[in-house]
Amino acid sequence: MTVKQLLEKLSKIDENTRVVVYTEHASDLDIFEIEDVSVGTGTPGRLEDGKAVFGFDRKGPASWLFIQVVPA
């Protein structure tokens, strides 16, 4: 998802709505609050198991928006 796509989705929601992030693992539901956002430059990639990785480097080819979360 790009910042543009995220902004388009958020523009349709009341500005006073609380934002949380959730993950589901088997039958567990974990909820997090957003603490901070920042842009990082570097090189994205994938590990052999398919997990995404990002090597931070000011001269890297990609800029990603990182959202820092904390348990709610």
pLDDT of residue 28: 92
Contact between 20 and 35 under an 8 Å Cβ cutoff? The reply is no
Handedness of CA 43, 60, 36, 1 (dihedral sign): negative
pLDDT digit string (tens) for the chain, length 72 residues: 999 999 999 999 999 999 999 999 888 999 999 999 999 999 999 999 999 999 999 999 999 999 999 999
